[in-house]
């Protein structure tokens, strides 16, 4: 072990940046704290504009060779990275749980295996990526995807490695080089990913990882003239700053932002299913951008829905996320907990009623909360809380349900519970959302487009949409009989 190595639940993690195929320390550090018990995990290298410039320079230098690497070889290396992740699922799971407080059982069973799938999916999709040639007045049109260049990927803290590799995998598959900037509240598994990628044979400079505060390193990355793509997942205010920073260079952006998604429950729905979907919104302590945090329930079943929901939600166990019996863990940071409680207390002061919860618990834990008697234009209905806080409103007609569902500045997702397929078709056609789930929740396929409408984002990623973003899509038009002088 060295002064730059932490031991986290028995796993060695390097605290330095990964730039140009080597570890680079900063003169300053920031403290990484576990949300489970508030204990200090360790000191992490705190990047500045200097490290940002070095990472972009390394990515720029590595780009020509990586872009020229045949598709089959790029795919092979991505599969090798997936192999490396697969071998270390247990280590990555315990480190990520320690770092961000999400359930260990979820990391083991779904989240980290999804990291493996991210790399395998985009490696395989790369090999079949094509557009059928077509003719225009006898001329042949051929569509191709050319690597765009160094890509800055700025990722959130609620599912750090999974959401990072949702961007890293297609960017690398496309032939781009990457500068990954993980969230400062959960940086550790990004460092481990750098080790795994290097062991898999990814050339130096193709993946770079820089840690630190967005306010200190972010602008240096997003305003850099050599950056060709920026993908960001996070808050609307930060996205606006990134867009301003990137504007001078007209750097293309993909932004996946906040949500205030509805769950519409109609009287003809299977109420047991609807309640199951509703309780699922407490997943990851409510720290899920896609969560349907606004329950819109038809008046005739609202009382029964609420009774069943309270019964089921009250049975959830909140506590240490490393315990297999735990259903809800901590919120990530004291600042986030303060934000969550502020929303709830202001809502209660304005007349809302807490059916369950409505208060902090010990440490960084917030009681699962459901608020009723809320106005449509109230802060608690209109703004993203990003914690285990849900609201319930009622409606009397289908038209009112759609109106309430669409009446926010967001449009990331929506969930619909109904027993009428014709109603489902009518309502989903009117909902403003990037993803709509009907009688289900969080079913996602990597080949599907993903992104948000309105203030929930710009652009779509997933399947070919990811390659459309990370590449310069080119159309080559060839004249007929143009080879008379050849040979």
What DSSP designation does 212 have? S
**How far apart (Å, rounded) are the C-alpha atoms in residues 441 and 436?**
9
User: 458: phi > 0 → left, psi -120 to 50 → alpha, else beta; which?
Assistant: beta
Q: Give CA–CA dist 387/370, Å, rounded.
A: 11
Q: Which residues are catalytic?
A: 256, 289
Q: How many helices (H) and strands (E) does the chain have?
A: 16, 22
Dihedral sign for Cα atoms in the order 59, 62, 64, 65: negative
The whole-angstrom separation of Cα 360 and Cα 318 is: 12
Write the CB contacts of 3 (distance below 8 Å, at least 6 apart in sequence). none
Measured distance CA(443)–CA(114) in Å, rounded:
13
Alpha-carbon gap, residue 169 to 172, rounded angstroms: 5
452: left (phi over 0), alpha (psi -120 to 50) or beta: beta
β-bridge pairing 471-478 and 139-147? antiparallel
Task: Please tell me the total number of residues recorded for the chain in this structure.
Answer: 487
Residue found by looking up tokens 């900037």 in the block:
181
DSSP 383: S
Q: Which residue has the tokens 């780009």?
A: 63
């Amino acid at each position: 072990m060295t002064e730059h190595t932490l031991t986290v639940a028995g796993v060695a993690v390097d605290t330095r940046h990964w730039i140009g195929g080597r570890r680079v320390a900063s003169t300053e550090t920031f403290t990484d704290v576990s949300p489970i018990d508030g204990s200090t995990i360790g000191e992490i290298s705190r990047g500045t504009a200097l490290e940002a410039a070095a990472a972009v320079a390394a990515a720029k230098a590595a780009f020509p060779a990586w872009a020229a690497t045949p598709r089959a070889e790029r795919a092979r290396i991505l599969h090798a990275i997936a192999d490396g992740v697969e071998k270390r699922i247990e280590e990555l799971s315990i480190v990520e749980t320690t770092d961000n407080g999400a359930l260990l059982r979820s990391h083991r069973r779904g989240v980290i295996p999804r990291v493996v799938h991210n790399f395998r999916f985009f490696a395989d999709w790369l090999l079949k990526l094509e557009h059928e040639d077509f003719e225009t007045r006898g001329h042949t049109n051929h569509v191709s995807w050319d690597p765009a260049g160094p890509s800055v990927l700025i990722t959130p803290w609620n599912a750090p490695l999974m959401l990072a590799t949702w961007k890293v995998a297609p960017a690398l598959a496309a032939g781009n080089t990457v500068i990954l900037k993980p969230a400062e509240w959960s940086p550790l598994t990004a460092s481990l990913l750098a080790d795994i990628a290097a062991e898999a044979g990814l050339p130096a400079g193709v993946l770079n990882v820089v840690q630190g505060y967005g306010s200190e390193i972010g602008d240096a990355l997003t305003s850099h003239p050599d950056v060709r793509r920026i993908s960001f997942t996070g808050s609307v205010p930060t996205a606006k700053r990134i867009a301003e920073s990137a504007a001078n260079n007209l750097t293309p952006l993909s932004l996946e932002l906040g949500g205030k998604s509805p769950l519409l429950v109609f009287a003809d729905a299977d109420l047991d299913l609807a309640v199951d979907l509703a309780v699922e919104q407490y997943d990851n302590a409510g720290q899920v951008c896609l969560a349907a945090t606004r329950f819109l329930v038809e008046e005739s079943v609202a009382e029964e829905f609420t009774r069943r929901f309270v019964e089921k939600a009250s049975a959830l166990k909140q506590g240490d996320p490393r315990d297999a019996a735990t259903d809800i863990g901590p919120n990530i940071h004291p600042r986030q907990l303060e934000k969550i409680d502020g929303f709830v207390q202001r809502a209660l002061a304005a007349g809302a009623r807490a059916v369950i919860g409505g208060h902090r618990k010990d440490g960084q834990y917030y009681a699962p909360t459901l608020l009723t008697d809320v106005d449509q234009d109230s802060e608690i209905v209109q703004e993203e809380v990003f914690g285990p806080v849900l609201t319930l409103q009622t409606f009397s007609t289908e038209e009112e349900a759609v109106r309430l569902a669409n009446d926010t500045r967001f449009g990331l997702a929506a969930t619909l519970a109904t027993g009428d397929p014709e109603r489902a078709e009518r309502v989903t056609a009117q909902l403003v959302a990037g993803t709509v789930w009907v009688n289900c929740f969080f079913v996602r396929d990597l080949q599907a487009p993903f992104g948000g409408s309105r203030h929930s984002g710009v652009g779509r990623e997933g399947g070919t949409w990811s390659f459309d973003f990370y590449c310069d899509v080119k159309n080559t038009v060839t004249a007929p009989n143009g080879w008379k002088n050849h040979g």
